[in-house]
Chain A
Amino acid sequence: MEITVKVKRCNPQGNADCKPSWQSYDIKAEVGMSVLEVLLDVIAGVDPSLVCRRSCRSAICGSCAMKINGRPLLACDTQIIEEYEKAGRIELEPLDNHRVIKDLAVFQEPPWDEFDKIIPYLNEKDKDVAMTAEDEHAIDASQKCIMCGSCNSVCNALEMEKNYLGPAALAKAWRFVGDVREGKKEKRLDRLSQEHGIWDCVRCVHCTEYCPKDVAPLSAIERLRDKAMAYGIDDNHGAKHSTAMVDSIRRVGRLDEAAMTFKTLGLLRSIGMIPFGMKMEMHGKMPHPVVLPAIDGIDEVRKIMDKREEEKKKEELD
């Protein structure tokens, strides 16, 4: 099958501002060929100057993540004909949220710099703790990570805040916090709860949606948040917001934005939010800040919440 592959190329040669341009290659694809195989054919036969990182070809080394038709995918793990038939085109670009080195190769500050910030090794407990199959399952997903950068490339929070640790590093953090053998969980959670840590995530679910290895970073982040609050590490906006949300639901069965703002930010900073609140009010996005009646059937809501809290108490701290 003949396919035109378009590659977004950029060759900065050390200059920061490089204007990318699209280059097309007409290639012949056989059934079973991956996007990476096609790229290798182009590099060997047509254009050896085209750059993409690659190594294992079997979706485990994490080298060849790139944007294929707008989504981050491993080039070695994407069948080209299937993808072409689905999308009607093959367009390859470097990952978003990363600076480009050349063509499809990007700088790797994320995830490596962030990786160092989460203390990326086990702190053994004083005495040996044996792991059970159950203990292994608790961290199994997060240790499937191949550090390909796909999750970071689609992370909305990272796009807005470059200092955010990002989903890859946080999935790795859960690999240690969730490990029965880890001796410094509380210290880790304390650090992770600081600015640009677990509470920066906006839960857009992109990381989990686009992860090629089912690491589910978002669920790792949620577990870290749960654990941090269970340890009583709640003196931060994220944890306060979370608590305020639960209170609001228990009280009126829905979100009471005004009260939540007050509980999250405190009196002084809430006053600063008043103009924003008024704008929301004008667009009908703000419930009445003083009188907010409970919904019908609030008792049912409270029953559900009681039940959940009972369950939670049973999930002990380790």
Chain B
Amino acid sequence: MVFHDVLIIGGGLAGLRAAIEASKNGLNVAVISKVYPVRSHSVAAQGGINAALKSNDNWEDHAYDTVKGSDYLGDQDAIEIMCKEAPEDIRELERMGAVFSRDADGDIAQRPFGGAGFPRTCYLADRTGHGLLHLMFEQIRKYEVTVYPEWFVTDLIVEDNIARGAIALEMLTGRFHRLHAGALIMATGGYGRVFGITTNALTNTGDGMGLALRAGAPLMDMEFVQFHPTTLKRTGILITEAARGEGGYLLNSKGERFMKSYAPNAMELASRDVVSRAEQTEINEGRDINGCVYLDLRHLGREKILERLPQIRDISISFAGVDPIEEPIPIRPGMHYSMGGIMTDKDGKTPVEGLFAAGESACVSVHGANRLGGNSLLETIVFGRRAGQSVTEYCSGSKVAAFPKSALQDATRKAAMIFERDAGVKSSELLERVNSAMMECCGVFRTEEKMKEGLDRVRAVREDLPKVTLTDKGNVFNMELAGVYELEHIVDLAESILLGAIHRKESRGSHTRLEYPKRDDKDWMKHTLIYKDGPEMRIDHKDVTVTRFEPKERKY
């Protein structure tokens, strides 16, 4: 059995950044990922990464914008850390070899983003995530981090509340392996595939959140699901916020810039929850174009579009059949990001000893009820690094716990059971049922009645999980088998999102309830925790940390 001081599950930005830090500190580090690391969905982040770099900007303003964007649910101590450490992290990325677009003075260029009072989003054209993910991949080669590419983690091994390693399925051979580790870091990203239409990759099934939940760690603030204002209708493919940052307009069917009725000052650059609600209202009230509104870039001119938004132009042409130089792009709000995730402290620690988390799969929480554009890449870098640091301290201070003998056998037995079933349902049918329930019952506007219906539908799918059968009975690259494990997580996450959303009787950030249209700081200025330590999920709470910004009404 192999042993690593640290086993990092997930090879996106947060996981690789943590790997670099832990490896620099002399630990024996491995990254395990169900895809080759550069395929991770960090690669698709388009717009940029926030940092107060300029002399006339400062981290306190960045922190204020973030707290306000979070609708005061973000923990301000964590937000302060993120915003204060951001500039040094950007400089460090540059030293590693990151390339950013430059301004006329030769400095790192920064563009305006939604909900931000200052243009502080650094970028590489509209493929910032691609640039940074490939950079991180370069760096893990430099630090000689072991990578297990296309290994699918099926179980976390936690006993007596201490993390001991994982069991993983090697896709190439179909073999299950034991990976003994002194500590684990979950960095598996979001769960977009819980919803039928999402900007997320096909691989974003929230495996890490599901694994951690089952291992006894709580999930926090799962009801907060970000709907991005500009996604393509049929596929949910993302059009970056930078399109509005560079000056794009949102228009309804009457050709009006409707944001003037919702956010007269910030207009198209209000925070994402505000813009998505505005669009959905326009659509619901009939001022739509086939269920969409328009994103109009034409006035930016050919040159600016080609220089600053080239990928967006390609995406629009390929996936919507529209050249934004000539025509407006039909867009609508689409599921994009999970503010919630595995509850961690500021150093990535979860309540399970030796289990850490970072990035979108974690909930620190720096995003609260709504994340600002440009803060997710930042979170992966700052808190990935911090998790790598704190895992080092953990490893030097604790003994390695033994790996239980039965774990491998349990895992192979479960797979054998799935293989042996003959009659039953295809996992794709069950997935479709969860997806449609979440689309219909847990969108931008929510009601008690619909959410309860959604919960019933999801629980019905759970009942059917033991009936899943496989068409592919082979060992080599059995993606259908991996899909069964993914589906189990999707069901758990769908249920936790719905439970949290039904429980929270107020409207805050991305969570908008028609029966409770106002934010309620008296009763709901607190985080929601979901545990699965018994047969049923249970709900608990945690206070929000307020340091310098007292809650007040949000206006954009």
Contacts and interface: CB of A to CB of B under 8 A. Distances in A.
B426 A57 contact: no
A169 B140 CA distance: 17
B237 A121 contact: no
B475 interface: yes
Most buried by A among B139, B314, B470: B314
A49 B471 contact: yes
Most buried by B among A47, A49, A60, A102: A60
A122 B93 CA distance: 11
B480 A48 contact: yes
Contacts of B471: 47-49
A163 interface: no
B193 to A, nearest CB: 11
A63 B131 CA distance: 17
Contacts of B476: 11-14, 101-102
B140 to A, nearest CB: 9
Nearest to B480: A48
A298 to B, nearest CB: 43
B315 to A, nearest CB: 6
Contacts of B315: 58-59
B299 interface: no
A139 interface: yes
A181 B321 CA distance: 40
B36 A121 contact: no
B39 interface: yes
Interface stretch (B99-107, B381-389, B503-511, B542-550): B99-107
A77 B480 contact: no
Contacts of B321: 31-32
A284 interface: no
A176 B238 CA distance: 30
A92 to B, nearest CB: 16
B272 to A, nearest CB: 19
B318 to A, nearest CB: 6
B254 interface: no
A105 B477 contact: yes
- Which range contains the number of B residues in contact with the other chain? 35 or more
B281 interface: no
A59 B41 CA distance: 12
A32 B319 contact: yes
A61 interface: yes
A118 to B, nearest CB: 10
B237 A61 contact: no
B203 interface: yes
A177 to B, nearest CB: 13
Interface in A102-133: 102, 105, 108, 112, 115-116, 120-122, 124, 128, 130-133
A246 to B, nearest CB: 34
Interface string B426-445: 11100110000000000000
B135 to A, nearest CB: 8
B472 A48 contact: yes
B479 A181 contact: no
Contacts of B311: 60
A55 B314 contact: no
B106 A133 contact: yes
Interface string B94-131: 11110111110010000000000000000000010011
Given A48-B471, A61-B41, A55 B203 contact: yes
Interface of B: 35-36, 38-41, 43-44, 94-97, 99-103, 106, 127, 130-131, 134, 137-139, 141-142, 149, 172-173, 201-203, 234-235, 237-238, 311, 314-315, 318-321, 426-428, 431-432, 470-472, 474-477, 479-480, 483
Given A53-B39, A62-B38, A120-B138, 17 more contacts: A37-B235, A43-B428, A44-B431, A48-B427, A48-B483, A49-B472, A56-B202, A60-B127, A61-B38, A61-B201, A62-B39, A79-B318, A108-B149, A120-B141, A131-B106, A132-B102, A136-B101
Q: Which 8 A-B pairs have the closest CB atoms?
A: A122-B97, A49-B472, A44-B428, A121-B138, A121-B142, A133-B102, A55-B201, A48-B480
